[in-house]
Amino acid sequence: MIKFKQIANHKPKGLSVGLLAIVLFVLDLALGSVPDDLEFATSAGEKAALPSPATEKPAKQTESALIPSMGKTIKLTYSNFFPVSYPHSTLVQSWCKEVEKRTSGSVKIDVLHGGTLTPAAQCYDGVVKGTSDIGMCSMAYTSPKFPLSGVIQLPLGYKSGLAATELANVLQRGLRPTEFDDVKVMYLHSSGPSFLHSRRTVRSLEDVKSMKVRAVGITSNVAKSLGASPVVFHMNEVNLALETGFADGIICSWEVLRTWNIGESIKYTIDCRSIAQSSLFFSVMNKRKWDELPKEVQNVIENVNQEWIEKTGRQWDALDKEGKEYSLSKGNKLLALSEPESRRWAEAVKPILDEYVNSMRAKGLPGQEALDFCLDQLKRIQQE
């Protein structure tokens, strides 16, 4: 990883005091054990699942429906890896309040934000073992546990975080990956699509071939498939890398342009949504604790989960909207690929999909079925 001496004194511009505090917290995480591809996941801006044949719908319940108090209080703990001031933490907190309201106060949930109960890399296992009753985290911290679900993070051509979030939940209910058998899934959600943001004009694959692009994880494979050279920098180094020519672009979501002020260091965003990928997050509950809950409480939680799928997907899109508006306000331009060129880009990343299928086959998992399912369902979701 290339380092710059100036980085220690390089502070994001134009941040409020509160947002700066969050970014500094995130920076501390980024320099520690946070996976490099989580730039959006641990950053903070100011500030509907579809049915499938295998879906088991919870009992019908209106948003205001309440169940009578049970005369005793069920206390649960929720480990949330997002920082407390991050918008998704607000959604987690409101999920808990909604469950409490609809159970007439019979269920109370104590949320511990920022990985204070279980660090991100231990969040999932912490739920399995009962260290926390519920946990939310990025799958990137423990990706080997979720090989089949990794299909959601491939460059499938997402148009929105809502579409990616809907697809993640349809996949989970439709194919029921066994990798979640040791927990009760509350819901999954997935970030807004990643695009190529550049200091150069890009209108074809030929324009990408000589570029150095900040990319990690799956986006590194995308960059290589397009003919670019992936380079790795921590997020706090990206602006300087772009401004000094150590990088020509970055693959990330719109949100990142505002959160890390990268909109100040690019000139163009290439609308390459035909290859857009997303990053996956889970909210899961300890299986034994779930089984102990009264059926009427389970029904309440299932209904709240169903509503929060859409709320969370829309939250990702709201953050991307802010990032896009911020970037365009800096005078940056949005470049749309022609339809033939868009198809060329999709064809260029196809080996990434093939590699996933082959990797799953080697593990004895139905990777081709998962990929075909997702491509079919995503097409349906994005046409509605």
φ, ψ of residue 295 in degrees (nearest 5): -55, -40
Give the CA dihedral 182, 186, 192, 193, nearest 10 degrees. 40
Q: What is the pTM assigned to this prediction? A: 0.84
Facing residues of 109 across strands? 76
Q: What per-residue confidence (pLDDT) applies to 64? A: 46
DSSP for 8-43, please give it.
Answer: GG---SS--HHHHHHHHHHHHHHTTT--TT-TTTT-
Alpha-carbon gap, residue 368 to 361, rounded angstroms: 8
The answer as to CATH 3.40.190.170 being correct for domain 31-51+66-192+279-319 is yes
pLDDT in tens, 266-323: 999 999 999 999 999 999 999 999 999 999 999 999 999 999 999 999 999 999 999 9
The answer as to CATH 3.40.190.170 being correct for domain 5-17+194-276+324-355 is yes
Domain with CATH 3.40.190.170 in the chain: 5-17+194-276+324-355, 31-51+66-192+279-319
pLDDT in tens, 55-103: 334 444 444 457 776 678 999 999 999 999 999 999 999 999 999 999 9
Of 306, 287, 305, 300, the residue nearest 69 (C-alpha): 300
